[in-house]
Amino acid sequence: MNRNKAGNIFHTTLNWITRLAYVNVLWILFSLAGLIAAGLFPATAAMFAVVRKWLTEDVEIPVLPTFWNAVRGEFLRANAIGYTALVPAYIFYVDFQFFSSIEGIVSFILLVVSGSLFFLYVITVLFLFPALAHYQVRIPEYFKQAFFIGAGSPAGVIMSVAACVVIVFLTAWFPALLFFFTGSVPAYVIMWSTLRTIRIMEEKHIKRKEGTES
């Protein structure tokens, strides 16, 4: 590897570290500006919108204006989707508490069924905001699209969950990472996986359509 190539790799890596840290700081600041309750979901939607543009358009986009426009444009929809997604989480929590208090095989069966449904719920939530960044549909459709994205790529689910787990452990060891990479790194991996899965699904749909027409 010559010196110029090594220098280019270092420069590219440094640029990406800076980009990810910057958008993560914006995510935290805008979440706090909305007192978390009103700011977290729009800021998350904006973060995925920025990452999507990096992956599909241009990495040199103006990050702050793009982020701000996404917060304003998706404020109501992001909060509606976010709080709608919290309802099943609370129901699952209550169910797990209740089922755990029951003794015998019935408790085991109910926990297994509830756990399986919770797994499907987690997959859906994982790709909910990437779906919001990619599609322009009605709110219920985002949940369906998010589920299809997760179900369509088990490898993408594993990769996305792994990214979240790794960043959680790294943040526990190095708390300073919370301010720079906790949200942006998983968002990048999840959005990349989402776009890859959507592309594969669209290619399969085109092939099926061509096969039907022929």
pLDDT over 90 at 202, yes or no:
no
pLDDT over 80 at 4, yes or no:
no
pLDDT over 90 at 214, yes or no:
no
pLDDT category at 6 given cuts 50, 70, 90 is low
SS3 assignment for 132-160: HHHCCCCHHHHHHHHHHHHHCCHHHHHHH
Q: What is the pLDDT of residues 62-92, one digit of tens each?
A: 999 999 999 999 999 999 999 999 999 999 9
| Integer Cα distance of 208 and 214 in angstroms | 10
What pLDDT is attached to residue 176? 84
Q: What is the pLDDT of residues 97-150, one digit of tens each?
A: 999 888 889 889 999 999 999 999 999 999 999 999 999 999 999 999 999 999
What pLDDT is attached to residue 102? 86
Q: What is the pLDDT of residues 151-189, one digit of tens each?
A: 988 999 999 999 999 999 999 898 888 899 999 999 999
What pLDDT is attached to residue 125? 96
pLDDT over 80 at 3, yes or no:
no
Is residue 61 a contact partner of residue 201, using CB atoms and an 8 Å limit? Answer: no
Nearby residues of 32 by Cβ (< 8 Å), 6 or more positions away: 39
What pLDDT is attached to residue 115? 94
pTM of the model: 0.92
Domain layout of the chain by residue ranges = 3-213
| Integer Cα distance of 27 and 20 in angstroms | 10
Q: What is the pLDDT of residues 21-36, one digit of tens each?
A: 999 999 999 999 999 9
Residue 173 identity: W
